[in-house]
């Protein structure tokens, strides 16, 4: 193999570095499941809050914005995937396991060891289940899930135009 590509000027070098960085990003993007049929969905960030985490987690077609239909589809897909015993309800264990699966993937992608933040995210997932399970029967129903989805989407769509995109980012 001959390497004729030899960056000489700083700008050429930057171009080469940018190309490599771009490729890495592309490879990472390809590694993420992009087809809804793949089971674990397009969702990447398990943790994290805010506008970009929301878009990163739900923008299935990667056009930089999340429509309500897109959002509902991802939520529904997650709910179904999380309901591992297929009884139509999520137990606390099922709910947390689904979250942990995504969090684990996120850490693996970043080659990060499981740290205190990992442990506290799992703890938060348990707490969240307790809050989401409104009638405290230990099961999260589709109705409860839809109510959460409705609230969460409206909370993220700060300008109320029905899509969540960069325009909804909260001002610092
Ligand atoms: Ca989209
Ligand atoms: Ca279940
Ligand atoms: Ca909006």
| Percent of the chain at pLDDT exceeding 90 | 59
Tell me the CA–centroid distance for residue 125 and ligand 1, in Å. Answer: 26
Q: In this structure, which ligand is nearest to the CA of 97?
A: 2
Distance separating alpha carbons of residues 140 and 135, to the nearest angstrom: 9
Cβ atoms of residues 139 and 133 within 8 Å:
yes
In this predicted structure, the answer to whether residue 166 has a pLDDT above a threshold of 70 is yes
Q: Which of 4-13, 49-58, 73-82, 94-103 has the lowest mean pLDDT?
A: 4-13
Q: According to DSSP H, which parts of the chain are helical?
A: 10-31, 51-58, 68-82, 92-109, 116-132, 142-156
pLDDT of amino acid 83: 96
Q: Region 136-164: what's the mean pLDDT? A: 93
Residue 44 scores a pLDDT above 70: no
Task: Report how far apart, in Å, the C-alpha atoms of 95 and of each of 3, 25, 44, 141 are.
Answer: 51, 30, 17, 11
Collapsing DSSP to helix, strand or coil, 2 comes out as coil
pLDDT at residue number 21: 47
Are the C-beta atoms of 8 and 89 separated by less than 8 Å? no
What radius of gyration do the chain's Cα atoms show? 19
Neighbours of ion ligand 3 (CB under 5 A): 157, 159, 161, 168
Asked if residue 129 lies in contact with residue 140, where contact means CB atoms within 8 angstroms, the answer is yes
Among residues 33, 22, 19, 20, the alpha carbon closest in space to that of 109 is found at: 33
CA of 67 to the centre of ligand 3 (A): 9
Domains of the chain: 43-165 (1.10.238.10)
Q: Give the C-alpha separation, 84 to 68, whole Å.
A: 25
């Amino acid at each position: 193999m001959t390497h004729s590509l030899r960056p000489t000027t700083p700008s050429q070098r930057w171009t080469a570095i940018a190309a490599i960085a771009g490729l890495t990003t592309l490879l990472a993007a390809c590694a993420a499941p992009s087809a809804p049929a793949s089971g674990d969905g397009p969702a990447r960030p398990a943790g994290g809050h805010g506008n970009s985490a929301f878009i990163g987690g739900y923008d299935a077609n990667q056009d930089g914005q999340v429509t309500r239909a897109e959002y509902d589809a991802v939520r529904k897909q997650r709910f179904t995937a999380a309901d591992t015993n297929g009884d139509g309800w999520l137990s606390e264990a099922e709910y947390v396991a689904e979250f942990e699966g995504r969090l684990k993937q996120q850490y693996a992608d970043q080659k990060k060891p499981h740290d205190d933040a990992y442990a506290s995210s799992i703890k938060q997932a348990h707490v969240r289940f307790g809050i989401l399970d409104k009638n405290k029967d230990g099961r999260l129903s589709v109705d409860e899930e839809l109510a959460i989805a409705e609230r969460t989407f409206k909370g993220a769509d700060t300008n109320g135009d029905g899509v969540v995109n960069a325009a909804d980012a909260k001002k610092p």
